[in-house]
Amino acid sequence: MVISPMVGTPAHEAGILAGDIIVKVDDKSTDTLRHNDMIRMIQGEPGTKVTLSVVHDGTRQPEAITVVRAKIEVPTVLGLHRLPENLKEFDWFADQENHIGYIRVIQFTEHTADDIKKAVDHLESEGMRALIVDLRDNPGGLLTSAIAVSDLFLDGGRIVSTKDRNEGGRSWDAKADGYPYESAEKRPMVVLINKNSASASEIVAAALQDNKRAVVVGERSFGKGSVQKILKLGGDPPTALKLTTDTYWRPSGVNMHRYPDSKENDDWGVKPTPGFEIVMKDDERLEYLRYKRNKDIIRNDKAKEPDKPFVDRAMVKAVEYLKGEVKK
């Protein structure tokens, strides 16, 4: 399953969607393939092609999509949409009249916290009064990045803890001298999540929710709260072992990982703030994913854009809430 294609990558622009099931790589069925063997078949030299047969979330028939391989260099922080007059720049406001800013975090890398700080600084200079942070379809990334991003918006409090099988582990707290972004009373925030928000994105959403810094809008997140460590084994070619050693725990002390036997009413993932749940049906989710992908691709041919506008109910809910907070 594709948890989330990264924006700007060949797979994303070719039409691979979050939740897709890859059933064939070229003419080879994935039924009998090991995960790493499938990855090796998908990867290759830049400029070469691979055809992936996928079943989209909410459909039954596979679709063959040809992807042109390329070196992956992806920005991690995007705005609402690209400006028509300058496609390299973004519109960073979800609601210009009420000065509600918007940033979308694609994944968590070494430079994500710096990229967010630059975006927020820009929004502040333009008079931002509230902020939406969109973590939908964010598959996660580095723990250090999730901690740094959380610390941008918190002046204290627990961010996340880890526990091993013997209840050992460590914790990370926000620093008072982090990034002095104003409090929830002065700069209200919303975090958008959905069922494909995983790992580091869940750490950030939980940290801001538990510390009452942000309201969480959308769907329950994926529940990927396991910690892997890489053990280098040496050899020629070099080999390594990825070992799951710990699980992530929210500031409130609640488990985040969804185990194979976890039930719907168990504690895992991040749930929306009560009253802010926006659950999508399969057809709406497929429409949303296509809308988002089409919006992200830089097109010269405007005729390729869909005629029917998509109503993003989670975004509407977020803007409505923040408009009320701004008026207060």
Active site residues: 199, 210, 224
Query: How many whole angstroms separate alpha carbon 106 and alpha carbon 294?
Result: 16
Ordered DSSP codes for 17-61: -TT-EEEEETTEEGGG--HHHHHHHH---TT-EEEEEEE-TT--S
Give Cα 113 to chain centroid, integer Å: 14
Question: Tokens 């040809």 correspond to what residue?
Answer: 66
For residues 242-274, one letter each, b for 16 or more C-beta atoms within 10 angstroms of the residue's C-beta and e for the rest, the string is: eeeebbbbbbeeebbbbeeeeeeeebbbbbbbe
The closest alpha carbon to 104, from 137, 126, 151, 74, belongs to: 137
**Contact (CB, 8 A) for 30 and 22:** yes
Query: How many whole angstroms separate alpha carbon 281 and alpha carbon 275?
Result: 18
